[in-house]
Amino acid sequence: MSRRQRHRRGVRTHPGQTRRHGAAVDTLNSGIEQTFKRVKGIEGLAANLSDATRMLALVEEAVKHLGRIDILVNDFPWPIEAPLTDADTQLKDLLQQRSAFILSLCRSALPHLKKSPSGRIISIGFLRSVFAADSDAAFAKAEQDLAAITTAFVMETGDFGITANYVQPGAIMTPVSREVFRKNKALRDFCIARSAVHRLGESIDVARVVSFLAGDEAAFVNGTGITVDGGRQLS
């Protein structure tokens, strides 16, 4: 799997610590180790991410490197051959796969998160570029599915002070999106026109929201989602 198609997730130490250390995990041949080799405080880890049942081994590997887990960020940007439509049956399979990976990873990390003074679970939704211009229903279904997963974890983790939230990106310019928009300029133009700020988003726009949810300022934000799309302008 190419770097632009990788499944990425991250774990990090407590947000209130002076010294921060974390890990970014990607597929075996993604080059993740070299990508983060010169990034201070973040270690790149390669792992077999083709099977949801292997998430426990991944968590234990991360704990071996970090000593603990306080923040878990789930991001599964599966590549697609073409943007999905409302009638596309592939969406159901994608949602089932995403659910299996997120649930397995979170439950594997839960014993460690329970030991944290401020455990955080943050999941990232599918980019708008995954969906065709006429697929508002499919896009909404994908977010509803992620919201349901998040709500389920809130019920399991609230007593331990662990928060679970999600971020729903809009049209964010990533290597995957760039390739989609190169092939489908009409979708790119649609996404720009649909945004109230009339531009595509950048990865940093999503990262800033994730950073907020991971920090102490979001201690009472739980079981909710934040949309990062520049505002949706309805036609």
Contacts of 151 (CB under 8 A, 6+ apart): 223
Q: What gap in Å lies between CA 195 and CA 3, rounded to an integer?
A: 28
Encode pLDDT of 21-59 as tens digits.
Answer: 898 988 888 888 888 888 888 888 888 788 889 899 999
Encode pLDDT of 159-174 as tens digits.
Answer: 999 999 999 999 999 9
User: Is the predicted pLDDT of residue 11 greater than 80, yes or no?
Assistant: no
Encode pLDDT of 132-164 as tens digits.
Answer: 999 999 999 999 999 999 999 999 898 999 999
Q: Is 85 helix (H, G, I), strand (E, B) or coil?
A: coil
Q: Which residue has the higher pLDDT, 112 or 235?
A: 112
Interstrand relation of 42-47 and 163-169 (parallel, antiparallel or unpaired): unpaired
pTM given for the model: 0.88
Q: What gap in Å lies between CA 7 and CA 100, rounded to an integer?
A: 14
Encode pLDDT of 114-126 as tens digits.
Answer: 999 999 999 999 9
Q: What gap in Å lies between CA 213 and CA 193, rounded to an integer?
A: 29
**Percent of the chain at pLDDT exceeding 90:** 66
Q: What gap in Å lies between CA 105 and CA 112, rounded to an integer?
A: 12
For 158-208, strand residue ranges (E) read 163-169, 172-173, 201-202
CA angle 45, 47, 48 (to 5 degrees): 170
Query: C-alpha 7: how far from its chain's center?
Result: 9
User: Is the predicted pLDDT of residue 17 greater than 60, yes or no?
Assistant: no
Radius of gyration of the chain (CA): 17
pLDDT of residue 101: 93
Q: What gap in Å lies between CA 13 and CA 72, rounded to an integer?
A: 9
For the chain, domain boundaries = 3-228
**Average pLDDT value over all residues in the chain:** 88
Query: Does 3.40.50.720 match the CATH number of domain 3-228?
Result: yes
User: Is the predicted pLDDT of residue 206 greater than 80, yes or no?
Assistant: yes
**Percent of the chain at pLDDT exceeding 70:** 91
Contacts of 229 (CB under 8 A, 6+ apart): 128, 168, 169, 170, 171, 195, 201
